Amino acid sequence: MARVRKVEWDTRIKLLATILSGGAALVSILSFVAGRRTAHASDAAAGLGVVEVTRIALSPLADTAYSLGDTLHFATVAADAHGQVLHAASVHWTVDNPTIAHVDSAGQVVALAPGVTTVMVAIGGRTGRARVVVQPRMTELAIIGDSVIPIAEGTTLELRAMGADARGNWLDPVDAVWSGGDAEVALIDTAGTLQGVSPGITKISVVAAGLSSERKVLVTPVPSSLTLTAGADQRAAVNQKLPTAVAVQVVSRSGRPVPGVQVTFDPSASAGQVEPQYVTTDTLGMAGTRWTLGPTAGRQRLAVEVGGIDSAMIVTAEADPTAENTIIVARPDSLTAEAGTAIAGAIVIEVTDTLGMVLADVPVTWTALDGGAFTQASTRTDSMGMAAAHWRVGPKAGLQRARAQVGNPRSIPPVVLSARVTPGHATTLRLVSGDKQRGVVSLTLSKAIVVRALDSLGNGVGGVPIRFASHSGEVDSIIHTDSTGRAGARWTLGKMAGGVRAVARMEGTKDSVVTTATARPGRARTIVFMAAPAGGTAGRPLSKSVRMVVRDQFGNPVPNTTVRFSVSGGSASPRSGVSDASGAVWTKWTLGTKAGNQVLTASITSPAVKATHTVKAAPPPAPKRPASTKGRSTKK
């Protein structure tokens, strides 16, 4: 404010100086003219020549113009060598830089442009000089543009400030410094480059030569992107209205809603119609329309366009064919494959309407229901109304199923595909049942030995020859597997008790399985006395226990059999026993007191088995007489 007042004061002083200078110049000029007339008259009367000018003085010697168009006035005085003021008859004014100032014949200088120049006056061969400085001073500063500067969000704008001197001449404020208000709305650098940051209003200012000016800045949102807020991934039958309106939101570069923007909804050819087609966004930047699909099955597209956004948003909806107007044919009719392999050739689904017109771009979903998979599968029908896929069946032999779904499963039933899957070559032989059985020697085991021939995926393979063999007993030799890959053989045990083995081998391979069984001895048939004493002393125990072994008909020891003992003389202890694992049983026999043959009988009740052992009992030795003691002396 002090600076503005100083400029105003300098302007008033300058005006006063101009008036005074003009008056002085006028007096000087009038005096000069009168002097010239007097001198000419005097010189002419006296017959004297013109006096030589030796000195010229300009007043003032330097002056400054503070506005373009200001007028500076200079006065001149010519003198001879004696200091006598001369009245010049001829005065010539010039400036050395006429682009800065102009001088007329009266010595009146007008400022034209900033700078420094020299004013010169020539009289009688002499020249006088004065310095003129044109230095405009700004008295006003303004920002070019409206009172509110609009700028689009995310863009830049070069601002310009202009100053004016006291006469209203525009000046370029080269030392202008810019500054801004809210940096979240707009930014401005010191050179005057304005950048719109986000929608809003703020102020910017410029300062130069002690003056300042400010303007409001309005940052307007610019549509930058479209967001689909509703109506995505919808489907409906052809010619039907989608259940949900298609709605979008227009947002600016900073992600803020842009209201008042026209949105155009443009369905492609054969994609039905929308109502309304042109919608202005609300305060939240939202716009919506209802879309009725066209008559063509497949994907239909709706373009959403907004001015200022380069590319349109494409909304896609699925137009489903109707069941009553759709014919689906699958080829080939018969499908076969080995388990875990692909069916030879592609499976093709052909889709047409009831008039035979192909239905292109209709979705097709392939599903293997029994562990298989589809590869290189077309997800939509092509321009010929066909979709193809390769079916790799699952690992399980038998009947496998797959499903091809055309269009919407709610309106069109699926096409069910069936393939007959055969097992691969037999690679493995597995024991199914019949292992670790227990049976009686020479008898057939209660359960058959069952094996199964499998391929590499575990499927049973039929018709495979299986050879059975055993080193003990008899087993069926060669049996072919049935349709499930199973083969069973009956095993008759041999005559020897204990653990035995049988082997099943798959013909043509090295794979085999081993089954084991335990052969139990048969029923007791004999009792055999093992190294029993043949004689003893009557009334006394035998020197060692009597050991017996129970055996079956094949000589196998029979365990767990109760054997009872009876004697014709004396006693047996214990009187019964149970055979151990080796079929053995013992008893201690004390002979009777009578000499002669005595019999030990061992018997089994069930089955009735009996065995005897005879021992010859010798009479006991006579008792010894005590020795005579007659004639013996006793020493103490």
Could you read off the pLDDT of 371-398 as tens digits, one per residue? 999 999 999 999 999 999 999 999 999 9
Question: Which of 420, 413, 415, 412 shows the shortest CA–CA distance to 402?
Answer: 415
Token pair recorded at residue 183: 């940096």
Residue 26 dihedral angles phi and psi, to the nearest 5°: -65, -45
**DSSP 8-state secondary structure symbol assigned to residue 49:** P
Report the pLDDT value the prediction gives residue 181, as an integer from 0 to 100. Answer: 80
Token pair recorded at residue 187: 């930014």
Mean pLDDT for back-to-back runs of 10 residues, the chain (636 residues):
38 42 40 40 38 82 92 88 74 93 92 93 88 92 92 90 91 88 89 90 92 92 93 94 97 90 91 94 96 94 93 95 94 94 96 93 96 94 96 96 95 95 95 96 96 95 94 90 95 95 90 95 96 92 95 96 96 96 96 94 95 95 69 48
Question: Which of 363, 300, 292, 353 shows the shortest CA–CA distance to 322?
Answer: 353
Q: How do residues 7-17 score in pLDDT, each as one tens digit?
A: 443 444 344 44
Single-letter amino acid, residue 476: D
Token pair recorded at residue 603: 């018997």
Report the pLDDT value the prediction gives residue 630, as an integer from 0 to 100. Answer: 53
SS3 4: helix
On the 0-12 / 13-18 / 19+ scale of CB atoms within 10 A, 78 is buried
Q: CA–CA separation, 137 vs 131, rounded Å? A: 19
Residue 21 is inside which H or E element, if any?
helix 2-46
Would you say 448 and 435 are in contact if contact means Cβ atoms under 8 Å apart?
A: no
**DSSP 8-state secondary structure symbol assigned to residue 557:** B
- CA 162 from chain center: how many Å? 57
On the 0-12 / 13-18 / 19+ scale of CB atoms within 10 A, 410 is exposed
Distances (CA, A) of 384 to 110, 237, 268, 348: 91, 21, 21, 12
DSSP string for residues in 516-544: EEEEE--S--EEEEES--SEEETTSB-SS
SS3 85: strand
Task: Please list, residue by residue across 569-607, b when 16 or more beta carbons sit within 10 angstroms of its beta carbon and e when fewer do.
Answer: bbebeeeebebeeebbbbbebebbeebeebebebbbeee
Would you say 495 and 514 are in contact if contact means Cβ atoms under 8 Å apart?
A: no
Residue 323 dihedral angles phi and psi, to the nearest 5°: -65, -40
SS3 312: coil
Report the pLDDT value the prediction gives residue 632, as an integer from 0 to 100. Answer: 52
Distances (CA, A) of 458 to 65, 425, 428, 462: 112, 11, 8, 13
Taking phi over 0 as left and psi of -120 to 50 as alpha, with beta for the rest, 404 belongs to: beta
Return the number of other C-beta atoms located less than 10 Å from residue 226's C-beta.
Answer: 21
Would you say 556 and 497 are in contact if contact means Cβ atoms under 8 Å apart?
A: yes
Would you say 445 and 401 are in contact if contact means Cβ atoms under 8 Å apart?
A: no
Distances (CA, A) of 23 to 13, 27, 30, 73, 514: 15, 6, 11, 9, 145
SS3 2: helix
Q: Which residues contact 437 (CB under 8 A, 6 or more apart)?
A: 445, 446, 447, 517, 518
Please name every residue paired with 222 in a beta bridge, in sequence order, or none if there are none.
Answer: none
Output the pTM of the full model.
0.57
Q: Which residues contact 587 (CB under 8 A, 6 or more apart)?
A: 545, 546, 565, 572, 573, 574, 575, 577, 600
* Mean pLDDT of the chain, nearest integer: 88
Please name every residue paired with 615 in a beta bridge, in sequence order, or none if there are none.
Answer: 598
Q: Is the previous residue joined to 259 through a cis bond, with omega within 30 degrees of 0? A: no
SS3 3: helix
Report the pLDDT value the prediction gives residue 87, as an integer from 0 to 100. Answer: 72
- CA 46 from chain center: how many Å? 119
Would you say 519 and 440 are in contact if contact means Cβ atoms under 8 Å apart?
A: yes
